């Protein structure tokens, strides 16, 4: 089985953080989002990963994945030159998948349960050409939604419907045994310019075509997931991941109070300050005369005389003053 991870999206919901890096390279709890995903994929026993990349910053993904995970995975990097939706992104992976089963997981989603849990759940479903992770939600019209027959097989999948057929939202993880059938469905959509929601080629629509042409698609339950493509849920994911870690690097700080859980990168300086709980400090960050809580602080960022809570600070940003909550992009310089 191969893991397919689409990573070519522009990450507009995470501006200004993604002006200078792909959203999968935003660091939380000690490593980029992509690092957490690949670590979980490796723990599931998968050793081949297909990373669909695109755009001018794709080299960051190629370099990081190769350097950090090149010994664990056989990596390939098909390119999506013109992003036209999730279905279009997955279609670019066809030559690399080469007819094998695949686990599809989105490049900005983190799950409380690991992928091994999902693969085990898929195996308990019996004969299925594909399965989709779902969770009941209060506002299904904001998601892709599935409707299921009494025998557990999917009869309808629809993306962001105005009148949802159920409250089962697609959670962004898929297990596909018959990858040829999925790629045939995606090819049909693209060849006939059958665009769906957002005027894009939707993976949901391709799965529906599989159902319509006789494939069996089933569902498995997913507990909480975190959409790291938005600031609020990015901070939430940071908190959840830090809860599962031991505070890292506090012993190097002599004139600071560290309130766990906190992740501290290399060459970090904290002077006359309090950091934590739920703070992730990237390499080279400098903090002085400040209080920082529930925050993600980027590489080489400088904070002086601030009281930050529920904030994201980009790489090499410099902030002084007394702000309370910020989302500051890379290389910014603020005085408040």
Residue 304: predicted pLDDT: 95
For residues 99-128, average pLDDT: 93
Note the pTM of the prediction, 2 decimals.
Answer: 0.91
Asked whether residue 19 carries a pLDDT value surpassing 90, the answer given is no
For residues 187-204, average pLDDT: 94
Of 19-23, 27-31, 90-94, 161-165, highest mean pLDDT: 90-94
Contact 222, 210 (CB under 8 A): no
Helix (H) or strand (E) holding 298: none
Contact 13, 230 (CB under 8 A): yes
How far apart are the two ends of the chain, measured CA to CA in Å?
52
Residue 150: predicted pLDDT: 83
The residue with greater pLDDT, 245 or 93, is 93
The per-residue b/e assignment along 193-220, b for 16 or more CB within 10 angstroms, e otherwise, is eebbeeebbbbbbbbbbbbeeebbbbbb
DSSP conformational letter for 227:
E
Asked whether residue 212 carries a pLDDT value surpassing 70, the answer given is yes
Q: Give the residue among 302, 257, 219, 314 at the shortest CA–CA distance from 23.
A: 314
Instruction: Encode pLDDT of 294-322 as tens digits.
Output: 999 999 999 999 999 999 999 999 998 86
Residue 251: predicted pLDDT: 65
Residue 258: predicted pLDDT: 93
Q: Which residues pair with 258 in a beta bridge?
A: 275
Cα dihedral sign, 21-58-32-239: positive
How far is residue 278's CA from residue 326's CA, in Å, rounded to a whole number? 16
How far is residue 318's CA from residue 225's CA, in Å, rounded to a whole number? 32
Instruction: Encode pLDDT of 232-291 as tens digits.
Output: 889 999 999 999 887 666 667 778 999 999 999 999 999 999 999 999 999 999 999 999
DSSP conformational letter for 162:
S
Q: Which residues pair with 275 in a beta bridge?
A: 258, 292
Q: Which domains does the chain have, with CATH numbers?
A: 2-233 (3.90.550.10), 245-335 (2.160.10.10)
Q: Which residues contact 217 (CB under 8 A, 6 or more apart)?
A: 128, 129, 130, 131, 132, 153, 154, 157, 207, 210, 211
Cα dihedral sign, 326-301-23-131: negative
Q: Give the residue among 213, 2, 247 at the shortest CA–CA distance from 105.
A: 2
How far is residue 143's CA from residue 168's CA, in Å, rounded to a whole number? 9
Residue 77: predicted pLDDT: 98
Residue 250: predicted pLDDT: 67
Contact 301, 318 (CB under 8 A): yes
Q: Give the residue among 215, 106, 102 at the shortest CA–CA distance from 154.
A: 215
Of 142-151, 181-190, 224-233, highest mean pLDDT: 181-190
Residue 132: predicted pLDDT: 96
Strands 279-281 and 286-288: what pairing? unpaired
Joined together, the tokens standing for residue 166 give: 């159920």
């Amino acid at each position: 089985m191969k893991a397919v991870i689409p990573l070519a999206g522009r990450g507009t919901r995470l501006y200004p953080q993604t002006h200078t890096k792909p959203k999968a390279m935003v660091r939380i709890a000690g490593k980029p989002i992509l690092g957490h995903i690949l670590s979980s994929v490796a723990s599931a026993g998968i050793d081949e990963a297909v990373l669909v990349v695109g755009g001018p910053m794709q080299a960051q993904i190629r370099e990081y994945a190769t350097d950090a995970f090149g010994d664990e995975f056989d990596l390939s990097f098909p390119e999506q030159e013109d992003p036209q939706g999730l279905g279009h992104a997955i279609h670019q992976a066809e030559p690399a998948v080469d007819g094998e089963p695949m686990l599809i997981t989105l490049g900005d989603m983190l799950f409380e349960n690991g992928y091994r849990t999902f693969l085990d759940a898929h195996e308990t479903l019996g004969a299925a050409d594909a399965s989709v992770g779902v969770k009941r939600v209060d506002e299904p019209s904001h998601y892709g939604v599935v409707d299921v027959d009494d025998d557990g097989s999917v009869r309808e999948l629809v993306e962001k419907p105005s009148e949802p057929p159920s409250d089962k939202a697609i959670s962004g993880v898929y297990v596909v045994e018959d990858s040829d059938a999925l790629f045939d469905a995606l090819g049909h959509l693209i060849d006939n310019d059958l665009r769906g929601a957002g005027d894009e080629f939707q993976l949901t629509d391709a799965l529906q075509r599989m159902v319509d042409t006789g494939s069996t698609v089933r569902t498995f339950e997913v507990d909480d997931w975190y959409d790291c493509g938005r600031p609020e849920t990015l901070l939430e994911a940071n908190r959840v991941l830090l809860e599962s870690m031991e505070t890292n690097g506090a012993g190097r700080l002599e004139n600071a109070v560290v309130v766990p859980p906190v992740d501290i990168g290399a060459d970090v300086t904290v002077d006359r300050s309090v950091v934590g709980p739920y703070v992730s400090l990237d390499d080279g960050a400098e903090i002085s005369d400040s209080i920082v809580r529930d925050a993600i602080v980027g590489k080489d960022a400088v904070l002086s005389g601030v009281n930050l809570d529920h904030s994201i600070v980009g790489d090499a940003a410099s902030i002084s003053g007394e702000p309370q909550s910020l989302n500051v992009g890379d290389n910014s310089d603020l005085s408040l």
